[in-house]
Amino acid sequence: MRKRELKNIEWSILIIAIILCIIGLVALFSATQETEHDDFNKQCIWFVVSLVIMVGVMLIDYETLVKMSPIFYGLFIVLLIGVLFTPEINGATSWFDIGFFSFQPGEFAKIFVILFLAMAITKIQERGKGEINRPTRLLVLLAILGVPVLLIVKQPDLGTAAAFVVAAALMVISAGIDKRYIIATIILVVVSVPIVYNFLLPEHAKSRIDIFLNPESDPRGAGYNIIQSKLAIGAGGLTGMGLLKGNQTQLGFLYPKTTDFIYAVIGEEMGFIIAGAVIILYVVLITKCIYVAKTAKDEAGSLIAIGITGVFLFHVLENIGMVMGLLPITGVPLPFVSYGGSSLITNFICIGILLNISSKRQKTIFVK
């Protein structure tokens, strides 16, 4: 990587990601003392591994990654089919258990779906202005997105599937899709919500929505986790109860406290100041991601950056929203903070790609 490219890199993105990881590791250390910090130790290893992989990705031109994306897209479609035949873990078939590592193909697939979509949209736009609005072109994009999304829904993992949809939607909007399609989609969603809820949603998904609307209806069952989460956050106050001292965290009332509800651990033991700082860090991170999209040297780089932004944005809003009782529980991890090797490596690959895109931008910044 040349000196000019190193100077162009948006290093603040990496710094924020590392700070979030450190906060997550502190919370994990406190949340795992009854298991002799097993998950904490594993996460430290995955943190180092993720940084090494990120550096490797950063050194590969993102245009090369785009060209290779159809191959990886096809590979992960095969993996998403294969994972459906694995034993269930917590009611889902989302992981390949390879001993030391539970490999979740849905997490990694997000990267290559974004890259492949960026490639497809760019090729469509090369054919002429307005090509993106032709129904046949949109069907192609819908097919690229639809195959992995349907396979992930089948696992079932509705949270990860929704992340794909949000990323793709932002990419298509950024590419200049006609407003009539956006309006039609919004109307279609509004009209189809009651139909989907009553006839298509599986029972577990219905239960999560019902509990979101009224968690006290089943306080010892489906509503238990969200009630304990809100109690934990509320108990933290301004400065928190202190590490290793949170009642809900340490007495086992909060579950799963290392993954889905790690933000509740932060709120209880570190308090509003640190919990609020985490939100501010995410806002800055997402803003910087958008800036990289705006200043990318070409359309492909811009689309990839906005797709990654969509993934981060959805995960942050959904995880923190569900932990606070503002959104239904979907099992979505908090980027860089929740425990999980697949999630952490995927997030740092995204950071590597963003750093790569920012390194290629010209000195004269343009805004689209």
Residue type, 299: E
- At residue 303's C-alpha, the angle toward residues 301 and 307, to 5°, is 120
Count CB atoms within 10 A of the CB of residue 175: 21
pLDDT tens per residue across span 128-187: 777 888 889 999 999 999 999 999 999 888 889 999 999 999 999 998 888 888 898 899
Each residue's pLDDT, cut to its tens digit, for the chain (368 residues) gives 677 778 889 999 999 999 999 999 999 999 998 888 899 999 999 999 999 999 999 999 999 999 999 999 999 999 999 999 988 877 778 888 877 677 899 999 999 999 999 999 999 988 877 788 888 999 999 999 999 999 999 988 888 999 999 999 999 999 888 888 889 889 988 888 888 777 777 776 777 787 777 887 777 877 888 999 999 999 999 999 999 999 999 988 888 899 999 999 999 999 999 999 999 999 999 999 999 999 999 999 999 999 999 999 999 999 999 999 888 888 899 999 999 999 999 999 999 999 999 998 864 444 44
Q: How far apart (Å, rounded) are the C-alpha atoms in residues 39 and 344?
A: 13
What does each C-alpha distance from 65 to 14, 29, 164, 357 come to in angstroms?
A: 20, 36, 19, 11
Q: How far apart (Å, rounded) are the C-alpha atoms in residues 335 and 96?
A: 21
Residue 365: the pLDDT is 45
Q: φ, ψ for residue 61 (rounded to 5)?
A: -55, 130
Q: Is 72 helix (H, G, I), strand (E, B) or coil?
A: helix
Q: Across the strands, what pairs with 97?
A: 102
**DSSP secondary structure letters along 245-294:** --HHHHTT-STTTTTTTHHHHHHHHHHHHHHHHHHHHHHHHHHHHHHHHH
Cβ neighbours of residue 357 closer than 8 Å, sequence gap 6 or more: 62, 292, 296, 297, 301, 304, 305
